[in-house]
Structure 1
Amino acid sequence: MPVAPDRSAARHARGPGTLPRSVTAFASVTLAAATGAAVWLLPTETDQWAAPAQAARPDASVSAPVPPPVAEHVQAVDVPDGGGGPSGFVTFVDVVRHPSFDLPRAARRGDVRWFALGHLTAGPDGCTPRWGGRQEQGGNPAAAGLGRLRAAGGDAGLVFGGPVGRELAAACTAPGALTAAYRQAVGAFDAVHIDFEVQDSADHETVRRRAEAIATLQREALTRGRPLAVSFTLPATETGLSPRDQMMLRTTRQAGVRIAAVNLLVPIRPAPPGGSHLRPAASAVRAAQPQIAAGLGEPTATERVALTFVLADPGDLSSADARKVADFAARNRLAWLSARGASPDPEAVRLLGVPPL
């Protein structure tokens, strides 16, 4: 007569090489204690700014946004990294608000050689670029100084879009006319770098239209032996870029655009007690780096991330802050640094523009 196995005994039996339960329990308690001690030994938030940014591991519990499928039938333009784009500290000039800004004089009296001129948006007909959507390109004194700036050894890129008005891709829906509008602006200023301060990432048709026009311009520039560097300026928080901005980068890259850099806009605000007001910027860079790398289809975003502070007051970025930022930029190989809003103190600008050793 068959005998039923003793399942209770089987549950309590240990296989060969299995540790006793008492030993396993002791090891678990020891591991938990060690983990707690390690957490207490992590750097404080004021130390994080000086440390190199690490690529964040994606959270498996959070589903990444799935963009609409895009056929990657366009060959990406082979533009060298940087492709003639900015470096060091870049001074942004709102040529509509400051039409008398003297580019060559600013370059001579400071250590800045790169400028960004904005913002070019759609004029009344929707397909003609205008400064601030109103002023003709050739009618702005600040922008007219670009030739003298280049003669003095500097250069400037053009910034399309921005917070006011409509970006050309949103207003000009005819693909050929849109490409012609961008081409006209690039040709008028002989630009080797253009930036898009995007406000419409959720509009997929606009994103695709702009991407196809940019890809055409880059192919044309390459045939002339004068590569066109393209960057995107996007707001960033301590969690990095928004899902729609990440999707926009991916869609643009899939359309064949070679994106030289992504410029993160990070506001500087007063720090909480015991905290550092630079911490949000460092956290934004850390979070955005793997997101940008994924959007560009590359393993890392080295030298493809730029950082622009949005200042409410010149004192928001002191000389001491600038030294920390310059060191952080060198450690993490950021593409360039810049500021919007209030102009930083000249000494801070000088420190931010010092090339890394």
Structure 2
Amino acid sequence: MMKCRPLAARLAAGALSLALASSLAPGDNLRAREMAAGDTPSSSDIKVTAPIAGKTPATNAPIPALLAPLAPRSLILAGTLAGTRLVAVGERGHILLSDDNGHSWRQVPAPANATLTGVRFIDAKQGWAVGHDATILHTTDGGESWTLQNFAPDWEQPLMDVLFDDADHGIAVGAYGLFLETADGGKTWTKRRITDDDLHLNAIFATGGDTRMVVGEAGGVYTSADRGRTWTKRPLPYEGSLFSGVTVGDGTVVVFGLQGHAFRSTDGGQNWQTIDTGTKAGLMGGVATPDGHVVLVGALGTVLSSSDGGASFKLTYRPDRLALADAVRGADGTLILLGDEGPKLMGALP
């Protein structure tokens, strides 16, 4: 039986929790980065490969996502650009594509109906998506079709985010310290540990050059100066959960999470400044531009915008107060908000 710990929030918003209640089993959480999950295997270097037909028990075999007319109105948790195309993922394995900067969306087939929590592309064609049941999907045609690289419901460890440096090397992170790495484009994945505890790892992102950052539970901030080979834990004046982070063009990093907490570092995470966000709403995702603009989104329709590299923010709330999970910028600069009831156009980035 799945072991649970108290859930604080990437869904502490309530609205997203209710949206998921009808589609996920009790104890499941969306992209909440505070997931109910199983034990992490003790080995720090275990090779795993994607289950294939004939070797996966029928009870654990993935069920393809259903194509649903209302998929663009479902709970969407993460998005990214693939060239000029927008790709967004969410509950029930829904994958949405937009070729007109977010004005219209269409669903494409996916080989598993597990909730998807993260998606990244290295170019216009090749990308990966991750989610519940340690699901990893891969596409080589801009998201039109996807293949299954990993599916392990028995682990009871959702994956939360993914980052690839190139077509070969990638890292996926998730619940209870789950850290998977590949050097062959996802044909095989190696389980590693970057921390001695079993705290959730909620997001991974590049902060410039070869530097990478992982954020997670209990104020966890981990940095790598060698693209993930070695990791150092950085001090943070906060012991709550961090759900994600963004890198501003000058290398400045903003991390954020539970109850509106956000922090800014200009030296790679060695020192942090507390940001006054003006809200107690959980901050779940965001986007930054090279010219110093930052937008963070979260529970209760929270939208925080900054024009000074995250040093200060203006707080607004969407009138519908629908919970927001992420934000992505279209090829034309349009800002698209993702969350409860699907993608929403916000207009040009401030």
Per the TM superposition, whether the score is higher than 0.5 is: no
- Decide which structure has greater helix share: 1
Higher relative contact order (CA 8 A, sep 6+): 1
Bigger Rg, structure 1 or 2:
1
Q: TM-score, normalised by structure 1?
A: 0.29
Q: TM-score, normalised by structure 2?
A: 0.30
